[in-house]
Structure 1
């Protein structure tokens, strides 16, 4: 039974838009909620990141519940880096109890990428095994006592993928394992080349019958792009875009224009797009406007 706008839209084969917001580095969630509110009626669901780049942030689970309270559909990102299987199982069951249904199952960025490199990673599970645990809960299976006493969960899980991965055969094998483990959609990391995205969709995702939401990352400046290439695992922003940003009289506006071009291009290839704009989420409606994407009739 399809219970969320994201599920229904993906199942119908309709163009689908998601975006992500970042929890606060503190106890005041008002700014994050304001950024999410700006996306109301523009996206089908809003991801909440989970310790992205191994940097301390408020719990994704807490922010997702607050989004639900505000009438916005969340996607709970769950990273394996910081919790053992018991902690992850607890969060999955807690998400179900709180009414959160959409998940993105992630291994998590390495601790060395963050600002507390002395922290100890857990990594007892990784994304495939986390997906298997979600699937087991959806079947009503208890990891110790055979059956969950109050019945199965109803979680809708997705996976991440990097279309720029140099080994397409390795990418196919990895995504096939995620599909078999229970992934029902894919949100990609940032994509900077439509041809790369087309190869990924046609040769990897479509044979696995997985709908793809292509990652569009909003760049703010040439300096910002260079920082991302240096600090974000898997980032590969091409020199041509960096030069375009560097030559622009208004780099922020140029970044919006680039993202809008990518949205238009990628919607002709993938089923949808996933918008990312670290600490600039308020600009995402401008990206959609420039891409010619009208407010959603309903979500």
Structure 2
């Protein structure tokens, strides 16, 4: 439980994110995750993000465990009723998964199969309540679970740049009362908004925050994200900076590294998202002044150096991939 230990100790907590494959072969996704082994405490696996059909998050999380990586199982409510959600939670626990991020889920109309029927019996707050009941070995309908309860470390998502501050306050209070023990935010581009969220909402609730950092590959990529990702609002100043750069890919890495360094002065950790460019995450973290979790000198896995960072191992020739579209 490296993530839980890092958050409990107060040291900088670093997570990243991978997206399950659109097919039955997970090898490329597992290779991308393995490259992050010495740089992050845990790796999130998205669950039907943007309502696009992909491999099960639960299955890929188990495969990450098999290669010695700590996963965070993202679980969205959109596609399952409470019976299916409880079944998957019990199954995930039996398979060794402990970290959860409870989500409502993106609307079906945003995805590649808009004719699919959403379920939406629960949403993220009620899912957190359900997890808390299972952690207490309770079936919410019939009482005590005869074969034992769970021990999940459950987190919640938040958008510090939400246009409704009172709504954000109310919802985070509900999530904390429902059992959330940490927060991973959506992409943050405004450090002032992040600081206000941490100081006025998360800290009073006792919730450690991992601030979301999203790698932008070009001005075109930034405009695409603004258009298709619910809630995204990349400011024009960053779009202009990418457009003016002679090497937009390197500029995107520089922007992400600056955000990591800035946000770690405000929040307890960062959550780095680099879709189809996960191999660049070590470069981002090193450029931000972080050292590997387990450098050659022999520190215990989970120790995170904040100075004398070695050069990032990501090679200069790493391909950034095409624009995010699925």
Cα distance, 1:223 vs structure 2: 0.4
Give 1:196-275 correspondences, 5 Å limit. 196-275=193-272
In the alignment, what sits opposite 1:104? 101
In the alignment, what sits opposite 1:133? 130
Q: Mark the runs of 5 or more structure 2 residues left unpaired by the alignment.
A: 295-300, 303-326
Cα distance, 1:292 vs structure 2: 1.3
Cα distance, 1:115 vs structure 2: 1.2
In the alignment, what sits opposite 2:287? 290
In the alignment, what sits opposite 1:34? 31
Alignment partner of 1:170 is 2:167:
yes
In the alignment, what sits opposite 2:6? 9
SS at 1:274 equivalent: strand
Give 1:81-120 correspondences, 5 Å limit. 81-120=78-117
TM-score (norm 2): 0.90
Alignment partner of 1:154 is 2:131:
no
SS at 1:207 equivalent: helix
**More displaced 10-residue stretch of structure 1: 161-170 or 123-132:** 161-170
Cα distance, 1:41 vs structure 2: 1.0
RMSD value, Cα:
0.7
SS at 1:77 equivalent: strand
SS at 1:64 equivalent: helix
**How many residue pairs were aligned?**
296
In the alignment, what sits opposite 1:191? 188
Cα distance, 1:193 vs structure 2: 1.1
Q: Mark the runs of 5 or more structure 1 residues left unpaired by the alignment.
A: none
Runs (4+) of structure 1 moved beyond 2 Å? none
Within 1, Cα distance between the matches of 2:220 and 2:80? Answer: 34
TM-score (norm 1): 0.98
Within 1, Cα distance between the matches of 2:140 and 2:169? Answer: 29
Within 1, Cα distance between the matches of 2:111 and 2:149? Answer: 36
